[in-house]
Structure 1
Amino acid sequence: MNTITQTMRFRQVLIEYSFKHGVTKAAIRYKVNRQYVYRWRKRYDGTLASLADKSHKPHHHPNQHTADELKLITDMRRRNPNAGLVVFWVKLRQRGYTRSITGLYRILRKQGQMPVKPPNPKYVPKPYEQMLYPGQRVQIDVKFVPEACIVGEANGKKFYQYTAIDEYSRFRYLEAFEEHSSYSSAVFLEHLVKAFKFPIECVQTDNGQEFTKRLGSSQKPTLTMFEKRLKELGIQHKLIRPYTPRHNGKVERSHRKDNEYFYATHKFYSFDDFAKQLKVHNRNYNKFPMRPLNWKAPIDYINSFINFGELF
């Protein structure tokens, strides 16, 4: 017993007085009837715990579950341990159970027969291939600039951010475009090759129409301008599995960071304004230390590899 109430103390004083002066005088003094004194004297064993109120919950109820119903619930739960409340209730009703779903819930709780939800199978990703040197593989993707960021005279227009990120060094190259097409992708690729300080062996993209026609309606898809330019430059083109953006995870994550640290706080009044601000953002990104790079900036990581052929 954790709680001692004033009623319990009153009963103790009453009983001790009755032992000393008699039941009648105790009843008169404390304004209770004699039966009350006798009842608590009979229960009193010298401890306050014996004077506590017992549960007033009835032992029986005219509408309580019958033994047959309880047996049905137990048998059905043994055969359906993972069935949810509604499904389990429907299965019981198919076997003649007439109680409400609320009544069933109370019984399941009381008897500890609530459903056991099996754990969902976890996705176990395959070990991602680690790059060994800069330019071994570069991820490219396109981000649509949020409409809320385009204001003033540029309101209603659409701007696009082309992004390339080196998987080894996290070095990024960003460029602003007004058009989302294979032509823009080819132009971006040419500028990317000039901007990166190392040769690019492989480019990885999704299956968007700006990169490939592989998932188009044509039975014999032709090469896009982007793919032709890749072929001319001798760069391998790797396509990720359709509708699986996590396979292009590094560029997708960088886009999420762009939303948090750039687009959430910037407005663009013209395309030139957007292009200038994007260049500044890209420069700041490449100078910012990162945990995957042992808290070194991508530009420093690249320069160390180029100048010394080794990392920090």
Structure 2
Amino acid sequence: MSHANAALTPRHRLIVGRLVVDDGWPISEVAARFQVSWPTVKRWADRYRTGEPMQDRSSRPHHSPNKTNQQTARRCVRLRLRLREGPVQLASRLGIAPSTVHRILTDVHLNRLSHVDRATGEPVRRYEHDHPGSMLHVDVKKLGNIPDGGGWRYVGRRQGDKNRAATPDKPKNKHYDPLMGKAYVHTVIDDHSRVAYAEIHDDETARTATAVLVRAVEWFNARGVTVERVLSDNGGAYRSHLWRDTCAELGIRHKRTRPYRPQTNGKIERFHRTLADGWAYARCYTSEAERRGELDDWLHYYNHHRPHTACGNLPPFSRLINVSGQYS
């Protein structure tokens, strides 16, 4: 098919070739008749003379020595499906440019994940504090405990129920089904650097939440970060007197989000999705203890090695200066 601005259609190109080659018309007269340039008429006349088609030639090169090989493309697709990471993170793993990863994902229609676009009907308002420690975001991510042998997400509902029933030392509900319980991941993330701290507990009480906050503040202080403010939702632990008194002892100003407005604490909500995709549901764990044992290693990868788009495609720890073990 000819391009949108072509003066000659394939049918008229054929007429031009016949007039010049078969009927012996001068090129200048044919060019004046069809209101095109002399080189255009000569080009189509030469192609007609050699028996070439009157269609546009493909602009694709005959050889592409720098083309991404199929093995890398297939690995890119597999990592996208398994890890649900973006082009920047996948490019770091594959050793290629983020634009190349995006092209590969676009070719296989994987450039958008179903849960990426969450339209709220309101303009997106972004903010970022200007130095580490100016604001910490805190929240709790609840996860169902994994039975011995693997959970239903990977082994299926039927086998998952069998694994639940076979897991020892679990209480029963009124239907005599085992209660696996929940894992409460208490997460803390710095607003400026996106450096994350997390602990797993069996509850989300005020005593547990305040103890996590104290240890998180000590952890950030050891890395040269002085915590000034903390932002939380309106959960019971964060409305307690114990939380209020602990913040006062630490010299931290506590702020809460507007009720039913999780977007205000969106940085940690987005971190929870990264946490779920990269650690909690990244692979088939055969027990809850195995999954919990992997959290520290994943947090180290997230803080020290995983490229973050908010940090200029650098790891979060790159925004902390002169920290011991920063480049490990």
Distance 1:275 1:228, change over 3 A: farther
Partner secondary structure for residue 239 of structure 2: coil
8 Å contact kept, 2:280–2:291: no
Is 2:122 the counterpart of 1:144? no
Residue 157 of structure 1 deviates from its aligned partner by 2.8
Residue 279 of structure 1 deviates from its aligned partner by 1.2
Map 1:275-286; keep pairs closer than 5 Å: 275-286=292-303
Map 1:200-215; keep pairs closer than 5 Å: 200-213=227-240
Distance 1:233 1:172, change over 3 A: same
Partner of 1:190: 214
Map 1:51-62; keep pairs closer than 5 Å: none
Map 1:225-240; keep pairs closer than 5 Å: 225-240=242-257
Any stretches of 5+ residues in structure 2 without a counterpart? 1-118, 149-166, 171-178
Distance 1:270 1:232, change over 3 A: same
Partner of 2:100: none
Q: How many residues align?
A: 174
Partner secondary structure for residue 321 of structure 2: helix
Sequence identity (%): 25
Partner of 2:321: 303
Letter in 1 for 2:239: T
Is 2:272 the counterpart of 1:255? yes
Measured in 2, the distance between the counterparts of 1:121 and 1:136 equals 28
Partner of 2:122: 123
Any stretches of 5+ residues in structure 1 without a counterpart? 1-119, 214-222, 308-312
Distance 1:199 1:278, change over 3 A: same
Residue 180 of structure 1 deviates from its aligned partner by 1.3
Partner of 1:15: none
Letter in 2 for 1:294: G
Partner of 2:308: 290
Map 1:1-312; keep pairs closer than 5 Å: 122-125=121-124, 127-147=125-145, 149-151=146-148, 152-153=167-168, 156-196=180-220, 197=223, 198-213=225-240, 223=241, 225-264=242-281, 265-267=283-285, 269-271=287-289, 273-287=290-304, 288-303=306-321
Letter in 2 for 1:259: A
Distance 1:257 1:129, change over 3 A: closer
Measured in 1, the distance between the counterparts of 2:291 and 2:120 equals 44
Residue 251 of structure 1 deviates from its aligned partner by 0.4
Deviation readout 1:179-209 (Å, 9 max, x if unpaired) = 2110110110111011112110000000001
Residue 276 of structure 1 deviates from its aligned partner by 2.4
**TM-score normalised per structure 2:** 0.49
Partner secondary structure for residue 141 of structure 2: strand
Partner of 2:31: none
Measured in 2, the distance between the counterparts of 1:194 and 1:248 equals 22
Distance 1:268 1:253, change over 3 A: farther
Superposed CA RMSD? 2.4
Partner of 1:89: none
8 Å contact kept, 1:150–1:157: no
The structure showing larger relative contact order (alpha-carbon pairs under 8 Å, at least 6 residues apart) is: 2
8 Å contact kept, 1:175–1:275: no
Distance 1:121 1:169, change over 3 A: closer
Partner secondary structure for residue 241 of structure 1: coil
Letter in 2 for 1:135: G
8 Å contact kept, 2:279–2:298: yes
8 Å contact kept, 1:189–1:226: no
Residue 266 of structure 1 deviates from its aligned partner by 4.6
Letter in 2 for 1:193: V
Residue 239 of structure 1 deviates from its aligned partner by 0.2
Residue 270 of structure 1 deviates from its aligned partner by 4.7
